[in-house]
Structure formats: structure tokens, C-alpha cells
Amino acid sequence: MRFAIVNDLRIAQEILRHAVAQIPGASVAWVAIDGRDAIQKCKADKPDLILMDMVMPVMDGAVATRAIMKECPCPILVVTSSIEGNLALVYEALSAGAIDAVHTPTMGPNGSILGVDALARKARVALAATAVQISRTILQTIAAKLPAITSQKYGTSNVPLVVIGSSTGGPNALSVVLRGLTVVPSCCTVIVQHIDVAYAPGLTHWLTGEIKRPVKVATEGDSPSAGSIFVASSADHLVLRDGLLRYVVEPAEQIFRPSVDVFFASVVQERVRPSVAILLTGMGRDGAHGMRSLRDAGWHTIAQDQATSVVWGMPGSAVEMGGVVEILPLDQIGAAASRWVQSRVA
């Protein structure tokens, strides 16, 4: 694995060099001192992963991330000394295509590097997100949870459920869809975004500011209620079980935690009355199997189109699997979902 380091501070560069050296199979491809330098070097030599700082002279990391994803797409992991202090830049970078965020490793009192394990774990997930295929074992586990239910009785809840999965580029896509989802007061919206549990509360706060409606982290035992917008917030998987939102460990081997497929599978298994499922921009295939099963169960399924996706991996895979009823530009998805819900509750 060839890592690139983008940071203007010499001490941070050296700490990151030492941190990368401690990750098995990893090496440093190059070092850039600002965002503009990173763009030029990425065009000349694309690494396996870029470790992108946020606050830099000349060009910050969020702007650089957006340019790299347009001009020479490459997996990007935000690595910054203060995620909380740079929240706006971090979510701008995540919206532009960065996969996740982690704190910059630091030097311990005895000269050791602190934070290498967290960096290595995030790097593995970021690299896995670029893979086109997922484990057959995982697919079998998920498939076992997806019985045919078209002839079965639906659950008793009268609250329409809108379920959304997203990953790379998701924060901005979510804000656009939620602003267009005018039926929020009459439905419950549940979002599974690939993001570390530590940053999910920040995402809900950011989305609340963007859409001017309250967005909450989903906690164990929450009941889907009209007007609620929940975001999965756990290192485990969000599921719907016995009418309540729960967190489960299995499938333990699924690297995306929380997983869109696992949540969608639980909705099918719960026999929720068909409503709308949306799959937005993201690398990989998570959510594709779940979308197909939801469509088979009578749900109206919408995928973001390729032109407006930062990465058309997840929605593209769902289209390939025949799990999508509508393929729409990002700015039309909220309105389309609203029309469908309104036509069923009128």
C-alpha cells in the first residue's frame, strides 16, 4: 500500500512517516506541503491512499479533495489534528469524496507514536471501500435474512419509513435529499452513512444546520416516529427489530459498520409496509443487495444517477442488480420520494 501525506507542518509529516512505517505493507509514496501540491503530485503518481490534512496555506484539504476527486480520483482519508475544531472543513471534504476522518497521530512522551492503530484501521476501511466486490460469506449472511415477503402480512406501523444509504460524498448528498423531502413531518427517515461512530454526532449537527430540521443519532430502542430523522451511530450495525431501532454485531465480518445492506435486510425481514428506499453516492457495493430485496418486497427504490454521484459504486451496483425503480439526479430525489409517499398516505 502506497500512502501519500499532505500536510504543511514538518513535524506532522515526520510523525505520519513513522506511523505509516508501522503499518504492515505500507510505505510513503510522496509528501505534499499543501492542497495544490497534492493535486499536482497525485496527477503524476496516484497513490493507494492520501492522508489529507485540512488546514493548510495556498489550498486547504477540503478544496484539494474536491479537485482530486474530479481530476484524478483516489481514496482520501482526512487526517487532522482537530476534527471537532475543523468540522466544517471535514464535512466539506467528506461531501467531496473523502472516505472518513481520523485524528493525526501524535508523539508520546517516550518518543512512541500514538494513534497508529486508529490510522491503520481507518486506512483498511478506506481501501476496502474502493473494492468492487464484497465477501461471498457476507452476501450469504445478508441473503439469509431476506425472505420473500410479498404474500406475508405487513407490520402494524402506520408511519411511512424512508430509508437512505450513503457513503463517499454522502454528507452533501444527504443534505440535498433531505431538503427536498417535504414529507418529513409525516414519515420517519432513517439514514445509514458510512462514517465512524465518533463523528456521527457531528454529522447530525451539521445536517441539522444545513436542512433547518432536527437530525438525531439513532440510539438503542428508538421508535420510528413521524417527523424523526435518525442517523446510524455505532461501530455495529443498525437494524429494525420488533418495531424498534437496534444495534447488532453480526455480521461481524462486514467491514462497513454500519452496513446499508444489513439495515435494509432488517427492514425487509421486519415486514415493514413498503415505502421509499434511496441509495446515494458511495464506493463499493454496500446496499445493492438490500435495494433489490426491498424492490422485490414492493418498495419504491431510487438510486442517485452517475452524473451527480461523487462515486457511482453503490447506486451503480444496485442498478446492475435490478434493484432500482428510478435513477435520478441528486436534486430530484427528495421530491420524487415525497410524491411517492404522499400518493400512498393521501
Q: Residue 286 catalytic?
A: yes
Is 261 part of the annotated catalytic residue set? no
**Identity of residue 252:** A
Say how far apart CA 331 and CA 327 lie, in whole Å. Answer: 12
Query: Which residue is catalytic, options 286, 289, 293, 317?
Result: 286
Q: Are 152 and 59 in contact (CB under 8 A)?
A: no
Q: Which member of 37, 53, 100, 194 is catalytic?
A: 194
The DSSP call for residue 331 is H
228 grid coordinates: 424523526
For 281, residues 6+ apart whose C-beta sits below 8 A from its C-beta are 166, 167, 168, 169, 170, 173, 304, 308, 309, 310, 311, 312, 314, 315
- In sequence order, the β-bridge partners of residue 32 are 6
- Given the residues 167, 228, 275, 309, select the one marked as catalytic: 167
8 in catalytic set: no
Radius of gyration of the chain (CA): 20
What is the spatial distance between Cα 40 and Cα 24, in angstroms, rounded to a whole number? Answer: 27
SS3 content of the chain, % helix, strand, coil (to 5): 40, 20, 40
Q: Would you say the C-alpha torsion 210, 215, 216, 218 has a positive or negative sign? A: negative
Partners of residue 190 on adjacent β-strands: 163, 230
DSSP bridge partners of 30:
4
Distance, in Å, from the CA atom of 216 to the CA atom of 243, rounded to the nearest integer, reads: 18
DSSP state string for 30-66: EEESSHHHHHHHHHHS--SEEEE-SS-SSS-HHHHHH
Q: How far apart are CA 196 and CA 304, in angstroms?
A: 23
CB atoms within 10 A of CB 32: 23
The set of catalytic residues is 167, 194, 286
